[in-house]
Amino acid sequence: MATAETQIDNGIFRVTKWTIEPNDAIPMHVHEFEYVVVPLVNDSMRVLNSDSSEIVAEIRLGESYTRPAGAEHTVINRGANTIEFVEIEKLL
């Protein structure tokens, strides 16, 4: 299973570093809060949405993106390399 390392959780922001090994995944989950992802690698990951649609998310080192609260998905690493990114949730 993917690993999560909480770096900051101060009631305003929650910052989590995610590591997904090859052929591993972050299980289905719902994002309670709007969030930003900051990739730490160049790679691609599969995102399986709750409606069964699937996309390939190309991530690029340092090229951040945001997603709305309510996003519900599984994130899968089908590649040969470890995927790492930092997720920043806006709690307020």
Give all domains of the chain, ordered by start, each with its CATH number: 3-90 (2.60.120.10)
pLDDT score for 1: 80
pLDDT score for 42: 98
Structure tokens at 85: 């990114």
Average pLDDT over residues 32-47: 98
Structure tokens at 18: 């995610």
Q: Tell me the pLDDT tens digit for each residue of 46-92.
A: 999 999 999 999 999 999 999 999 999 999 999 999 999 999 999 99
3-class secondary-structure state, position 60: coil
pLDDT score for 40: 98
Q: Tell me the pLDDT tens digit for each residue of 77-90.
A: 999 999 999 999 99
Dist CA 41 CA 67 (whole Å): 19
Dist CA 55 CA 30 (whole Å): 17
Residue 39's DSSP bridge partners are 85
Structure tokens at 16: 């989590």
Nearest to residue 2, comparing CAs of 56, 62, 52, 73? 73
pLDDT score for 18: 98
